[in-house]
Structures are given as structure tokens and as C-alpha cells.
Amino acid sequence: MTSLTFYGGVKDIGGNKFLVEDRGTKIFMDFGMSFSAENQYFSEYLKARGSNSLIDMMELGLLPKIKGLYRRDYAKHMGFGGDEETEINAVLLTHAHVDHCAYIRYLRPDITIYCSEESKLIMQSFDDTGNGEQYLELTEKFGFHKSEKGSTKDLMVKDSGVKTPRKIQVFESNKKFNIDSIEVTPLPVDHSISGVHGFILATSEGMLANTADIRFHGRRTQDTEKFVEKCAESSLDLLLCEGTRINKTQSPTESDVENKVTEIVNDTEKLVICGYPTRDLDRLQSFYLAAKATGRDLAIEPRQAYLLQLFNSSSKLKGLYPSPTDKHIKIYIPKGEWGLIDKDISVYTRKLLDEDYKVWAREFLDYENKIDYRDVSAKQSQFMLSLSDFKLQELIDIKPNEGSSYIRSLTEPFDLEMEFKQKRIENWFTRFGLITSEKKWHQVHVSGHGDGNQIKIVIENSNSKKLIPIHTEPKNEVYHKKWHTNVQSVNPQDSVKL
């Protein structure tokens, strides 16, 4: 018997966690976080309790109640088993967006994660430069440790710091592999982050495919086309098909973004500031090419330089994206904890300057192409500065001149909370003269998801006997039904036999 259980990712955009069971083989496709489910209960200051996170999240329906799935240190401490063997063979990861991968951090390290090289490096950048995500390496918690005297009276509640690497298995695009009874073909598809793969699974009861998040209008149209062709050749019994933007009819392309940005930069006399997703390297590429075409340098924050460094250190991915030492790239060093970047180094020593930054960021202080606000401020017409929403304070030091522009290349708000946050960002750019009541910022963005016309092609050309809509709002499943005669609509926690 082969079955699929949907622990998230249906009647919802993201939070994908699909358990595939086939003759005793059990694999999860993705293990992501649902923004909508988390937002129902949690906020910045109201979170799952660290001491009880698994239980808190299971009680709220955010994590599946499955013994043997979660890290032993958490499970034992929180009273959810932890001594049993796991029945889950693996997680197959489509891509490293948090709605697909965030809850991997709770899993046992001996459950193998199959992912692309790109996904692995993106998760590594989260581990190294983020807030303790622990995707690739776990640090043991809740261990009691004897003091030096060795007496049980002196037990200390202190994290041991023991690190355990997760089992990560990097797959090759288009190259089949087996997880016990299931044969997996990972096929690259186009989406707004590198290394995204859809999957075709050959099980004992039939063939099934998962589109992952998919579009045709990025820099990898052919990947999506080939994925659909492969689906058609595979006589699919079931297609799990996303529908995030299935109710939309148009999508500008990634090269439209590049052209539009180039045009805006050409029309800007002074500084160009841009905001785009840090980990979307295809979008970075658009801004980089626009910088090159207009004779400017693209100044990026250390976090993005770190990711470029990881990609350029991989023999498989080297040269795909600009290196952080590329002649059109500058590394913008923001002020650190003490703000020593512009202080007299003979007083404040190089050692202190190093300590002003996180360990991972220090190497960039040695880069010849590093710059700071003084360089940008002095030569505004020479730069495109990538500035994230969390570093807007730099505007205070940079002081953009009249004739500067802001290009925003991020999703527009789709709920009240996001509108509220966006208003705050507008206040910053208004304050520093980049936007006025007459002149708005330049919104130049394309989505990671195909519109209805694109998804219709995926559905019709995949030629699957049955279809289950995933990664979409409940109201939008009507579109899947319009374009396929055998659509099964499923709810979270539902199990379906193949």
C-alpha cells in the first residue's frame, strides 16, 4: 500500500510536510513552517517556549505528533519519548525557503535530508549567519553535567555544547536514487531561490510527482519545461501541484526586472538604493547585471557576500553567481556594536574592530573591496547599494543626495500586518528624501510562482491521472478543477491512498 498524509501545505500557502508511506518506507517531502498557522498563535514576543517547544507546537497543530521524529534531547526533556528508534527514513527537500525547510531544525540528526547542493549551502548560511537555526548541525540541549568534583549534588543545568552533524545527502539534478522501496528523480525547476527541485517518485502502487514551487518566468524556464516533459513521460498517477498565484493571469519576467532596474539606474543621477531578498541570487544577478550595464558597482551587505562566498567555494557551483571579490561588487560594512568602523584604528586597535563584528563577518574587513557609509556618501553616483529593511539606519550616515532613488524588489504587502510594516519603511525613505508624496519608490518585483496560464500548462502537459492542489488558498482550488477532470481536494491531516 502507498499513502500520502498531508501534515501541512494544503489549503494553505506553504508549511509543506507530506508523508509518503510505501511498504514500510516513510519519507517526508519538505518539513516547512506555515506562516499563516504560526501567525495565528505566535508573534515576535509570543513564541513556543524553548523548554517545551515540541509540545507547544504539537498542541497548536504546527508539528505532527509522531514519535521518533524529533531530536532526542528535546523529545526526552519534553516528555515525548526519545528512546525509540525512528520509523522515518528521510526528508526530501524541494528547496531552502522557510515554508519548506524551517522545521528541519526539530528533526533527529540521523534522519537523512536529501537536498540539492544549493539548498545545503543556503541552509549553511542560515546556520552560520542567522539566529541559531541548526539546520546542518545540532547543539545538544538540556543535558545535565557533573561539576568538576563529580558529585551529583553539583549537577549543572548547562548546555553541553556537543555538536552533532545532521546526515545530509546531496543529490544530483536528474539523477535517480533510491530510498528503500521508493525511487526518486529530482528535477530542477524555476523558482525564486537557487537549487529548487520537483520530484517524481516511483512507488510500489504507482507514480507521483510534486511540482515544488514553480514558474516559467524566471531565469530557468527550460528547467520547468523539462520537468513537465518528464512528468508526461512518467505516466503519473498523481500530481501534487502548487497554485499560489493560480488566480492571476500575468507575470513579468526576471529579465524585465533587470531591464527596468537598468532603466531606473540610468535615469538616476545620484545614489541608487535597492531592497531585494538576500537569498534570491537570481535577483542579485539582475541587480548585478544592471550595475555592470550602467557602469556602477553593486554594494552588498556581508550576509549576502557570505552566501556568494559559499557558492563560489563549491566546485559544482563556482562561477554561477558573481564572486564577492568581483570588480563590480563592493562589500558594504555597516556599523558594528561599537561603531568602530570610522574610528581611529591606532586608538581602537584592529583586534577591537574585529570584535565589533560577528565571527563569520570578520573576514570581509580584510577585503580590498570593502566600503562603508563614507565611501557611498562621497561617491553617490558610483553605487547601487543593496540595503535590507533591517539596516535602514545606515541612511542616517549615508545622507542620500537629492536625485537619489530607491528600488524595492520584494513582495508587496498582502495583509494588514505587512502593510503596517511597509508604512514604517516608507517613513524612512520619506525622511531621507528618496520618496515624496508625489514620487513613490520604484516597485520592481516578479513572483517566484507561476500565474494561472503557467500552472495550466503544468497541469495539462503533465498528463497525470489525478491531481491534488497544494500550496494554495482554498478558494483557488477551483482553478485546478477547471483544468483537470480528476482533482481531489484534501485537508490538513488527511491521508490519501495512491
Q: Per CB under 5 A, which of residues 286..345 are in contact with Zn ion?
A: none
Q: For residues 8 and 82, which CB has a smaller minimum distance to Zn ion in the complex? A: 8
In whole angstroms, how close is the CB of 197 to Zn ion at the nearest point? 13
User: Which segment (92-100, 285-293, 317-325, 385-393) binds Zn ion by CB under 5 A?
Assistant: 92-100
In whole angstroms, how close is the CB of 442 to Zn ion at the nearest point? 26
Q: For residues 32 and 322, which CB has a smaller minimum distance to Zn ion in the complex? A: 32
Burial of 306-316, coded b for 16+ CB within 10 Å and e otherwise, reads bbbbbbbeeee
In whole angstroms, how close is the CB of 253 to Zn ion at the nearest point? 20
* Owner of C-alpha cell 524588489: 409
Site string for Zn ion, 205-244 (x = CB under 5 A): --------x-------------------------------
User: Which segment (7-15, 19-27, 80-88, 173-181) binds Zn ion by CB under 5 A?
Assistant: 7-15
In whole angstroms, how close is the CB of 372 to Zn ion at the nearest point? 36
Does residue 484 contact residue 478 with C-beta atoms inside 8 Å?
A: no
In whole angstroms, how close is the CB of 99 to Zn ion at the nearest point? 4
First to last CA, the chain: 8
* Owner of C-alpha cell 533587470: 258
Q: For residues 63 and 261, which CB has a smaller minimum distance to Zn ion in the complex? A: 63
Strand partners, 240: 210, 468
Q: Per CB under 5 A, which of residues 29..68 are in contact with Zn ion?
A: none
In whole angstroms, how close is the CB of 451 to Zn ion at the nearest point? 16
* Owner of C-alpha cell 477547471: 482
Q: For residues 14 and 195, which CB has a smaller minimum distance to Zn ion in the complex? A: 14
* Owner of C-alpha cell 563614507: 374
In whole angstroms, how close is the CB of 97 to Zn ion at the nearest point? 5
Q: For residues 22 and 213, which CB has a smaller minimum distance to Zn ion in the complex? A: 213
Q: For residues 8 and 109, which CB has a smaller minimum distance to Zn ion in the complex? A: 8
Q: For residues 15 and 400, which CB has a smaller minimum distance to Zn ion in the complex? A: 15
In whole angstroms, how close is the CB of 95 to Zn ion at the nearest point? 8
Q: For residues 102 and 498, which CB has a smaller minimum distance to Zn ion in the complex? A: 102
In whole angstroms, how close is the CB of 432 to Zn ion at the nearest point? 34
How many residues bind Zn ion (CB under 5 A)? The answer is: 3
User: Which segment (40-48, 95-103, 118-126, 324-332) binds Zn ion by CB under 5 A?
Assistant: 95-103
CA distance 72 to 82: 5
Residues 6+ apart with CB under 8 A from 467: 238, 239, 240, 241, 459, 480, 484, 486, 487, 488
Selected binder of Zn ion within 73, 99, 133, 258 (CB under 5 A) = 99
Residues 6+ apart with CB under 8 A from 144: 155, 156, 157
CA distance 260 to 317: 28
Q: For residues 37 and 385, which CB has a smaller minimum distance to Zn ion in the complex? A: 37
Site string for Zn ion, 14-33 (x = CB under 5 A): x-------------------
Q: Which residues of the shown chain bind Zn ion in the complex (CB under 5 A)?
A: 14, 99, 213
